[in-house]
DNA sequence: GAATCTTCCTGGGCGC
DNA sequence: TGCGCCCAGGAAGATT
């Protein structure tokens, strides 16, 4: 779990021992705990503060990425550890009172992980700043910092397929393969349409649909295909029941009745409706 | 500098 | 029953 933390797992554990959790924040698919390490551990994490604002605040970010199968679970210490538990953090309450609870990081495919980083650039919605090492990640559509018109302009400058651009976390974050396909279905766009050939209103509509998809999915607890996808209390989400395109190959499109198709895309799959989401003309004859 | 490809990783599901 | 293969996917780093 400390693979992306260069100084290694022992260092991570040393800095976090006795650290105080001050806040929890997120951007796109990254989440982080704002922690204040024990003053006695100050030398240990001095290098994490490089590039950070106001190092005197004593705060550092514990960045977490769940990859595709990672879970952050808060469970009673006497509950058996799930298979693939890679990290256990005993939680202590105010005044050092034992809480009997543990934060556990569980990950089957080990694409997820933890890393420490300094914080910089406090802004609306992120009063403690953003971790330095994820400075390249663009705001997601649910953040105050998200600038719709700037993203529309940025996307339209790319000659790449619109889905590829939608998945580029440096342009807009928080959208993965599932929500990209759902957003494109709602916007009636094929993912291989070059972004630069779309009008500004078309891209704007796509982003508005993406925003809707994220809000609706969150309201249902996310998209759970199996027990891998759960919240901090181990509960599944129900958005998979609302999917119109992703994973629906061979089923009729809810809008037009044509059968949803599956196509190869970047060594994975894209799902779309052949009726509502026509392939770009220049590519049609290859289909 | 941007676009694209490769790599990391494991368990479930499938065909034989 | 068991083996081998494919598939899922985010993003860093390498390559074009």
Q: CA of A123 vs C1' of B1, distance in Å?
A: 29
Distance of CA A258 to the CA centre of its chain: 32
C1' nearest to CA of A160: which nucleotide? B3
**Strand blocks (E) in chain A:** 20-27, 30-36, 60-65, 70-76, 85-92, 98-107, 113-117, 119-120, 130-131, 261-265, 268-272
Report the distance separating Cα A269 and Cα A253, nearest Å. Answer: 17
Q: CA of A109 vs C1' of B12, distance in Å?
A: 12
Report the distance separating Cα A191 and Cα A197, nearest Å. Answer: 12
Q: What angle do CA A166, A195, A179 make, to 5 degrees?
A: 25
C1' nearest to CA of A67: which nucleotide? C10
pTM: 0.93
Report the distance separating Cα A270 and Cα A266, nearest Å. Answer: 9
pLDDT tens readout for residues A119-162:
999 999 999 999 999 999 999 999 999 999 999 999 999 999 99
A217 touches strand C (CB under 7 A): no
Q: CA of A164 vs C1' of B5, distance in Å?
A: 14
A47 touches strand B (CB under 7 A): no
pLDDT tens readout for residues A75-118:
999 999 888 899 999 999 888 888 899 999 998 888 888 999 99
A28 touches strand C (CB under 7 A): yes
Q: How far apart are the first and last CA of chain A?
A: 42
Average pLDDT of the residues of chain A: 90
- Lowest-confidence region among A84-93, A98-107, A192-201, A219-228: A219-228
- Lowest-confidence region among A51-55, A97-101, A244-248: A51-55
Report the distance separating Cα A40 and Cα A18, nearest Å. Answer: 9
pLDDT tens readout for residues A169-182:
999 999 999 999 99
**Protein-covered nucleotides on strand B (Cβ within 7 A):** 2-11
């Amino acid at each position: 779990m400390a693979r992306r933390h260069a100084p290694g797992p022992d260092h991570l554990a040393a800095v976090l021992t006795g650290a105080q959790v001050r806040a929890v924040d997120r951007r796109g698919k990254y989440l982080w705990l704002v922690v204040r390490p024990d003053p006695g551990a100050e030398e240990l994490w001095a290098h994490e503060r490089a590039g950070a604002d106001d190092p005197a605040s004593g705060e550092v970010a514990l960045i977490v990425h769940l990859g595709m199968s990672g879970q952050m679970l808060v469970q009673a210490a006497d509950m058996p550890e799930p298979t693939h538990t890679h990290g256990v953090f005993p939680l202590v309450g105010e005044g050092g009172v034992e809480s009997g609870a543990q934060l556990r990081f569980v990950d089957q495919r080990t694409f997820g992980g933890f890393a420490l980083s300094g914080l910089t650039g406090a802004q609306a919605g992120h009063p403690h700043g953003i971790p330095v090492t994820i400075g390249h990640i663009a705001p997601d559509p649910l953040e105050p910092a998200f600038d719709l018109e700037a993203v529309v302009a940025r996307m339209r400058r790319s000659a790449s397929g619109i889905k590829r651009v939608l998945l580029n976390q440096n342009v807009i974050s928080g959208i993965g393969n599932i929500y990209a396909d759902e957003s494109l279905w709602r916007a009636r766009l094929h993912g291989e349409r070059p972004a630069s050939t779309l009008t500004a209103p078309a891209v704007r509509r796509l982003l508005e649909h993406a925003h809707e998809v994220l809000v609706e999915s969150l309201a249902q607890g996310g998209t759970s295909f199996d027990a891998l996808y759960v919240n901090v209390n181990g509960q599944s989400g129900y958005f998979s029941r609302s999917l119109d395109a992703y994973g629906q190959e061979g089923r009729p499109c809810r809008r037009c009745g044509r059968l949803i198709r599956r196509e190869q895309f970047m060594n994975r799959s894209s799902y779309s409706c052949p009726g509502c989401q026509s392939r770009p003309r220049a590519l049609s004859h290859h289909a």
